[in-house]
Copies of this chain bind each other. A is one copy, B any other.
Amino acid sequence: MKVAVDAMGGDHAPGEVVQGALDAARELGVEVILVGPPEVVEAELRRRRPRPPGVEVAPAAEVISPHDPPVQAVRQKRDSSLVVGMRLVREGRADAFLSAGPTGALLAAGIFVLGRLEGVDRPAYGTLLPTRSGRPVLVLDVGANVDNRPEHLVQFGIMGSVYAEAVLGRPRPSVALLANGTEAEKGNAVTRAAYQGLSQAPEVNFRGYIEARDLPEGQVDVVVCDGFVGNVVLKLYEGLGLTLFGMVRDALTSTFRARLGALLARPALVSLRRRLDWEEVGGAPLLGVAAPVIKCHGASRARAVASGLRVVHEFVSRGAVERMRARLSAAPRN
């Protein structure tokens, strides 16, 4: 298996990205093509000798920044690490692409360079959110789109279902639609039509609506929503998690007695913190394009990049894209 890695994407590129890629290459035995300006990437590799077998460099002179307008950047910066990496996959020189670069540009490159799977109107970003049950929940779309139509949500349900089964190893994964109540008459115009569509989608174990309140309990495998709503969920999850931990920390250092207690409870709290850590969970799959693409958090350090490559490894070796293609072509079109 050969994975193209955008060596220049993310806040801590290229150093942390290269480090994470090398760690994963050693651990998983995958071959890695680091995409970026050769002198820059080679310098990072020299700093991290010895180079594991199967690590190559593919030249790309430009970088797409989070400030570039995504579609325009992808069209104009044809020699950027992000576009070149995607092209390696299209040309069959790599099996998958991983990038911590800008979300919008990665989506645009996925659509323009790789193309969409047949039966997919809009690709979606999925993300795994930690839950109390210990089984992360796959939420999609979390930001590839705004203003989704009902048929998009149905496609998200099919893709999420395949991903959960193939990559997360959940047999007959349960799929729910996010809404403002659990009764079938709840929801808005889009979710009500998507409810009908998902009820009839073949091989989707559809459980109806789920309320946001129940999301952190982890009782379903896949939660489907519009990209605008999913983005709010993802960011509130991150923000509230950080804020609540911060408040617990403030409370635990507020008095001498509390500080003493915190010292004793520290190992237990650290282990909890780790369970909730997005760096452990790995990257967000871009679903609906013609090959496996994983987006890592822009703030990713080596550990998160390596974790993302573990996800890529499953994504490729389980043949998830082919299974999605088959399932989507079996679904009735609108």
Chain A positions near chain B (C-beta within 8 angstroms):
131-132, 143, 146-147, 178-180, 187-189, 191, 211-217, 227-229, 231-248, 250-252, 254-255, 257-258, 260-269, 271-272, 275-276
Q: Are B268 and A255 neighbours in the complex by a CB distance under 8 Å?
A: yes
A-B contact pairs, 18 of them (CB 8 A): A132-B243, A132-B247, A143-B180, A147-B188, A179-B228, A180-B231, A180-B232, A188-B228, A212-B235, A213-B236, A215-B239, A233-B236, A244-B244, A244-B245, A247-B275, A251-B269, A261-B263, A265-B265
Cα of A231 to Cα of B272 in the assembled complex, Å? 28
Q: Is the interface of A mostly helix, strand, loop or mixed?
A: helix
Q: Are B235 and A232 neighbours in the complex by a CB distance under 8 Å?
A: no
Question: Contacts A132-B246, A188-B147 given: A261-B266 contact, CB under 8 Å?
Answer: yes
Partner of A236, one of B143, B215, B261: B215
Q: Are B264 and A260 neighbours in the complex by a CB distance under 8 Å?
A: yes
Partner of A264, one of B215, B240, B261: B261
Q: Are B212 and A239 neighbours in the complex by a CB distance under 8 Å?
A: yes
Q: Are B188 and A212 neighbours in the complex by a CB distance under 8 Å?
A: no
Cα of A245 to Cα of B131 in the assembled complex, Å? 12
What 20 new A-B contacts, CB under 8 Å, besides A132-B247, A254-B268, A261-B261?
A143-B180, A180-B227, A180-B232, A191-B228, A211-B235, A212-B236, A216-B239, A217-B239, A240-B244, A244-B244, A244-B245, A244-B276, A247-B272, A247-B275, A250-B272, A251-B268, A251-B272, A257-B267, A258-B267, A265-B265
Q: Are B233 and A213 neighbours in the complex by a CB distance under 8 Å?
A: no
**Closest B residue, CB atoms, query A234:** B212
Cα of A135 to Cα of B131 in the assembled complex, Å? 28
Q: Are A213 and B227 neighbours in the complex by a CB distance under 8 Å?
A: no
A124 nearest CB across to chain B (Å): 14
Question: Contacts A246-B132, A264-B258 given: A180-B228 contact, CB under 8 Å?
Answer: yes
- With a CB–CB cut-off of 8 A, which chain B residues contact A238? 213
- With a CB–CB cut-off of 8 A, which chain B residues contact A211? 235, 239
